[in-house]
Chains A and B, each alone.
Chain A
Amino acid sequence: DAGITQSPRYKITETGRQVTLMCHQTWSHSYMFWYRQDLGHGLRLIYYSAAADITDKGEVPDGYVVSRSKTENFPLTLESATRSQTSVYFCASSGGTGGAAQPQHFGDGTRLSIL
Chain B
Amino acid sequence: EDQVTQSPEALRLQEGESSSLNCSYTVSGLRGLFWYRQDPGKGPEFLFTLYSAGEEKEKERLKATLTKKESFLHITAPKPEDSATYLCAVIAGNMLTFGGGTRLMVKP
Q: What residues of chain A have their CB less than 8 Å away from a CB belonging to chain B?
A: 31, 33, 40, 42-45, 48, 50, 56, 58-59, 90, 92, 99-109
Which residue of the partner chain, among A31, A40, A42, A103, contacts B94 with CB atoms under 8 Å? Answer: A31
Query: How near does chain B come to A2, taking the closest CB pair, in angstroms?
Result: 15
- Please give the distance in Å from A87's CB to the nearest CB on chain B: 14
Q: Which of B32, B93, B99 is in CB contact (< 8 Å) with A42?
A: B99
Size bracket of the B interface: 20 to 34
With most chain B CB atoms within 10 A of its CB, the pick from A31, A58, A103, A108 is A103
A50–B76 alpha-carbon span in the complex (Å): 38
Instruction: Name which of A43, A50, A99, A107 has the most chain B CB atoms within 10 A of its CB.
Output: A43
Q: Which of B59-108 contact A (CB under 8 A)?
A: 87, 89, 91, 93-101
Interface presence of B41 (CB below 8 A): yes
Interface residue B25 (Cβ < 8 Å from any Cβ of A): no
**CB neighbours of B91 from chain A (8 A):** 100-101
Tell me the bound Cα distance from A42 to B31 in angstroms.
21
In the complex, which residue of chain B has the Cβ closest to the Cβ of A104?
B96
- Which B residues lie within 8 Å of A40 (CB)? 100
Instruction: Known contacts A43-B87, A101-B31, A103-B34; decide if A50 and B45 are in contact (CB<8 Å).
Output: no
**Can you name 16 extra interface pairs (CB under 8 A) apart from A90-B43, A106-B36?**
A33-B96, A42-B98, A42-B99, A42-B100, A42-B101, A43-B89, A45-B97, A50-B94, A59-B95, A59-B97, A100-B91, A101-B32, A104-B96, A108-B42, A108-B43, A109-B42
